[in-house]
Structure 1
Amino acid sequence: MTAPEETAPVSVRKPSKPDLWKDSLGRTATRALQILLILTLTVVAVFGLLQIRLLVIPVLIALILAAAIGPFVNMLRRRGWRGGLATGVAFLGLLIVLGGVITVIVMSVRSQWDELISQAAAGLDELESFLLTGPFPIDREQLNQAREAVVEFAQSSQVRSGAVTGLSVVTEFLAGASLVVVILFFFLKDGAKIWEFFLRPFKGRREAKLRRVGKRTMEVLGGYVRGTAIVALVDTVAIGAALLIMQVPLAIPLAIIVFIGAFIPLVGATVAGILAALVALVANGPIVALIVIIVVIAVNQLEGDLLQPVVMGKSLELHALVILMALTAGTILAGIIGAVLAVPIAAVTWAIIQVWTAEDPDLEPMNPELPPANSQPT
């Protein structure tokens, strides 16, 4: 007899548990967690920078000014000037220009302030008579109530606390201005050494990319500042000449405000033009104010259609919506200074993204070790 064949034990395979992180919903959840982590880190970083904005803002302003003045310092060095002497000459020239602008503003305001106050009082009287007898008349009692409300607000504790806050703002401004002066001097004198120090931990292709990032950052910032200054100068001459011809009070300070406002794209020059039109309305009447508005609109059209594309070139390759969003974010985070710094920071950020993803068209000739343009990022 033969022994019965032994049957092999049948192994029962347990059903594997489904991996919840590998299906479509799991992949979506993983990506959502990554996005939330990045947003959290960004918020924490922005919050931390805002806590030391007294240092961050002067550093950014000094970097932008150094990018604009740097070519002049380098030109002096190529002609044999020592680094400290070239930096001192450029730095002294900048201080002379800023001091001259401030002096012109103060002297113009002091010489025409009394005239503007008297004309403003007459204009307010005309406005009050128009409100009382115009097509939509307002009772004098309502005007008196509005006036009392303004006086009460001016005497309130909120305004007094605001004055204390204003004093602290002045103190912060002076401290920030002093920091800008010191940091700008060292950026102009030792900027290359400072950048080399930050590049020490990196080697190879990553170092080459970072060198290109630094070069592109200074190119974009310098081109933006110089181009905006040229556009602002044209706006200032055109609008200031119109104000002087029509004998609008404070024409020179208003023209300088137009120059400063031009550094806030889209809205700066417009707001400065509206301010000039309001002064003309109070001091010279509605006809002159209308002419000022027409001049401002014409200058803005000339700036947007001709000056910006020709002068700025590739320094500001940003869509108008991106500029508007950057202005809004900068204003919310840091007020007027944030609005001024937001657009150049956005332009630099876009330039860095182009360099890092090898999409900068000038990337190959300047850095042959980097991957070719339009290739996949590494």
Structure 2
Amino acid sequence: MAAWSWRLIVTGVVFYFFVQIIVRLSFVALPVAIALLLTALLFPLTERLRRAGLRSIWATWITMLLAFAVIVGLGFIIGLRANDEFPRLLDQVQQTARDAQNWLLKGPLHLKEAQLTDMVNEIIRQANAQRSAITSTILSTAAVFVEVLTSIVLLLFITFFLLKDGGQIWSWFLRAFGSAAPRVDRAGRAAWHTLSQYIHGTVIVAAIHGVVIGVVLFGMGVPLWAPLAVLIFMASFIPIVGIFFAGGLATLVTLGAKGPVFALVFIGVLVVEQQLENHVLQPLIVGRAVKFHPLAIILVLAIGGILGGIAGAAIAVPVVAVIYRALPELRRTPPALPPAAHHEPPAPPGGPGEPAPGAGEDVSPQRNG
């Protein structure tokens, strides 16, 4: 136990300083992490184009342009629908506000119109009192926007070169490990396979969320149902909490457009969706992709969320899955080749796969009659 204890202490110290370095370099580390996920998602298409005979540079450009075209196409469709449906949304929100005002005045609360006016004035006064804080928040948001834009540019460059020269970069990286390179190579390939399975499983889960929520909103007649469905799809890449953030916005739109009854129904659907994600979709689809037990998926998500918040929950499962699959390959020793039998002749000079000189000819001594 003493031997294990000091080794765990050393490992914990190294891990702590490694995490601190990652936190200090988050501006670079986060785009690299996202680029690895995007590369794992897009690499099958690039590989198929290469096998079809295209050069690596052209296969990479086609992959990137197709991905960009899909994103732009979705944005264009969403923008058109938002432009068409936003005026109707404003009308419905105004009608809902009038209905709510009438209910407050004539409903069981029996509020006076002067009381409503005082409530509105108090809200305005509080907003004016917090004007400086709001201004600083807007300025900080602008700075964050510039950082996000820079990170996106860095992300695109990293993804492009990983798709184009990923194999060469990995070979260059392995040279630093000398005789341990075969072990690191096996561990890296196992980790990459696990990461690819995870990102594909996550895309399936996000697509299921987007389709279900989109159908529910469309059935309720909520405006902007298509943009909200895409928002749900994007937010589902952050496990557990992502669907609540995007669902909260969808709930507000539903409340403003269709009233409290439809909003409560949508909240019920959202809760069911969240439970399905926690206990069915994430464990069965993503857990099966990375070969984790459903309990392990839930515990990893909970621990990642506690330690790192939303970002920790988003990367907890792929990080643990990659480590879990890579460590056995680092420890595993490949079986040794069986020793050659004593009666076997030495290998021919032509090398493996080439026939020895005179192979196939009868070289036995001729016997006289």
Superposed pair shares fold, TM > 0.5: yes
Equivalent residue number for residue 99 of structure 1: 72
Q: Find the counterpart in structure 1 of residue 188 from structure 2.
A: 214
| 8 A contact 1:224–1:316 mirrored in 2 | no
- 2:212 aligns with 238
C-alpha distance after superposition, 1:307-334 (max 9, x if no partner): 5455432326233122122134333xxx
Deviations 1:321-357 (A, max 9, x none): 22122134333xxxx5555334322332333344445
Displacement of 1:122: 4.0
What residue number does 2:142 align with?
A: 167
Q: Which residue of 1 aligns with 2:177?
A: 202
Q: 1:151 to 1:302 in 2, by over 3 A?
A: closer
Q: Secondary structure at the match of 1:201?
A: helix
Q: Distance in 2 between matches of 1:41 and 1:308?
A: 31
1:315 counterpart = 2:293: no
Q: CA deviation at 1:214?
A: 1.3
Segment drifting more, 92-101 vs 312-321: 312-321
Q: Distance in 2 between matches of 1:31 and 1:295?
A: 48
Which moves more between the two structures, 257-266 or 311-320? 311-320
Instruction: Report the Cα distance in structure 1 between the residues aligned to 2:101 and 2:122, rounded to whole angstroms.
Output: 12
Shift of 1:304: 5.4
Question: Which residue matches 1:351?
Answer: 325
* Aligned residue number for residue 193 of structure 1: 168
- The aligned residue for residue 340 of structure 1 is 314
Return closer, same or farther for 1:326/1:128 CA change in 2, 3 Å cut-off: farther
Please list the CA deviations of residues 24-53 of structure 1 after superposition, one character each: whole Å capped at 9, or x if unmatched: 9xx59x947x76665554444333322322
User: Is the CA contact 1:235–1:258 (under 8 Å) kept in the aligned structure 2?
Assistant: yes
SS at match of 1:263: coil
- Seen in structure 2, the aligned counterparts of structure 1 residues 319 and 305 have a Cα distance that, compared at 3 Å, is closer
TM-score w.r.t. the length of structure 1 is: 0.75
Shift of 1:123: 3.4
Counterpart of 1:178 in structure 2 is 153
Supply the distance in 1 between the matched residues of 2:274 and 2:14 (Cα, whole angstroms): 40
- Alignment check: 8 A CA contact 2:205 2:236 kept: yes
The structural deviation recorded for 1:250 is 1.2
In structure 1, what is the equivalent of residue 259 of structure 2? 285
Distance 1:112 1:232 in 2: 25
Q: How far does residue 162 in structure 1 lie from its aligned partner after superposition?
A: 1.5
2:59 is the counterpart of 1:86: yes
What is the CA distance between 1:137 and its match in structure 2?
A: 7.5
What is the rounded CA distance, in whole Å, between the counterparts of 1:305 and 1:37 in structure 2? Answer: 36
Q: Does residue 57 in structure 1 map to residue 30 in structure 2?
A: yes
2:362 alignment counterpart: none
Give, as a single letter, the amino acid of the residue that structure 2 aligns with 1:63: L
Is 2:249 the counterpart of 1:275? Answer: yes
Deviations 1:66-110 (A, max 9, x none): 111112212222222211111111111111112223333333333
Cα separation, 1, equivalents of 2:321 and 2:121: 49
TM-score (norm 2): 0.77
Moved more, 134-143 or 76-85: 134-143
What is the Cα deviation at residue 133 of structure 1? 6.6
Summarize deviations over 1:118-163 as a string: whole Å, max 9, x none.
Answer: 4334434544565667667775476246413442255x22221221
Aligned to 1:20: none
Unaligned runs of 5+ in 2: 337-369
1:123 aligns with 96
Select which of 292, 302, 307 maps to 1:329. 307
3-state secondary structure, aligned to 1:265: coil
Deviations 1:357-376 (A, max 9, x none): 55xxxxx9xx656xxxxxxx
Partner of 1:151: 127
Percent identity among equivalent residues?
31
Q: Match of 1:324, as an amino acid? A: A
C-alpha separation in 2, matches of 1:343 and 1:125: 47
Letter in 2 for 1:287: V
Alignment length, in residue pairs? 330
Whole-angstrom CA distance in 2 between matches of 1:103 and 1:368: 56
Q: Residue 264 of structure 1: CA displacement? A: 1.5
In structure 2, the partner of 1:66 is 39
| Alpha carbons of structure 1 residues 134 and 182: separation in structure 2 relative to 1, 3 Å | same
Q: What amino acid does structure 2 have at the position aligned with 1:224?
A: Y
SS of 2:158 mapped into structure 1: helix
Is the CA contact 1:264–1:339 (under 8 Å) kept in the aligned structure 2?
yes
* CA distance, structure 1, for counterparts of residue 195 and residue 129 of structure 2: 43
Indicate the residue corresponding to 2:350 in structure 1: none
Partners of 2:323 and 2:84 in 1: CA distance? 45
* C-alpha spacing 1:38/1:283, structure 2 compared with 1 (3 Å): same
Structure 2 equivalent of residue 10 of structure 1: none
Paired residues of 2:297 and 2:317 also in contact (CA < 8 A): no
What is the rounded CA distance, in whole Å, between the counterparts of 2:163 and 2:189 in structure 1? 15
Mark the CA change 1:124 to 1:213 in structure 2 (over 3 Å): closer, same or farther: farther
**C-alpha distance in structure 1 between counterparts of 2:21 and 2:101, whole Å:** 50
